[in-house]
Structure 1
Amino acid sequence: MTTVELTRFHVAPGDVSRLLAARPAMLADFRADRAGFLGAWLVRLPGDEWLDIVHWRTAGDFADSRAKGANLPGVRAFFEAIDHVVSAEAGTAVEDEDRASGTDGTA
């Protein structure tokens, strides 16, 4: 089953444009360097907080990615725009995108 990484973090108001500018390169680095990376969604929350929802093929792929840290310039630039991490956790997806959107006829 797919592993879902949920990272909530704070970005100072003056660093939002830097965070958003760094996002495409971070995603490109993940696609090139992180086995099992399936996709990510960045959500802006109230109070200068953000939520990054990242889908991984397996928990092992997620663990391998965490071990690499900010090993590439695009990842590093994105991480450097973050003031501090509020919380980080992972779970297992119980439905896929097709099922959640009803395109498989079950919703």
Structure 2
Amino acid sequence: MTTTVELTRFRVSSEHATDLIAARGGMIADFQTDRDGFLGAKLIQLSDGEWLDIVEWRSPADFAASRTKGGNLPGIRAFFALIDELVSTEEGTLR
């Protein structure tokens, strides 16, 4: 079985890093209840205020459907609001 992987790299100011981690649980809970095909996610802190979010989806269609919803729920909005800059986003396949 293949899995679709979303790779999102973004920047967060150092004063909001703790808030980002605290908001993560609400975002994951909203994804679990509202996003069909959501399999899980990992958040990686990189250097210089950059972060990498690795999200696994059952299929490309599930990932696409999630993107159309954006920050539609409070937990997702709270997490997204802490992001200062989107660096890149990519889609791949885990084999």
TM-score between the two structures when normalised by the length of structure 1: 0.87
> Percent identity among equivalent residues?
60
More strand by share: 2
- Which residue of 2 is the match for residue 66 of structure 1? 67
Moved segments of 4+, more than 4 Å: none
Q: CA deviation at 1:62?
A: 0.2
- Which residue of 2 is the match for residue 53 of structure 1? 54
- Which residue of 2 is the match for residue 29 of structure 1? 30
- Which residue of 1 is the match for residue 18 of structure 2? 17
| Distance across 2 between alignment mates of 1:15 and 1:42 | 15
| Distance across 1 between alignment mates of 2:8 and 2:66 | 14
Q: How many residues align?
A: 94
Q: Which runs of 5+ in 1 are unaligned?
A: 95-107
Q: CA deviation at 1:34?
A: 0.1
| Distance across 2 between alignment mates of 1:18 and 1:78 | 8
| Distance across 1 between alignment mates of 2:19 and 2:26 | 12
Q: Which of these two proteins has the greater Rg computed from alpha carbons? A: 1
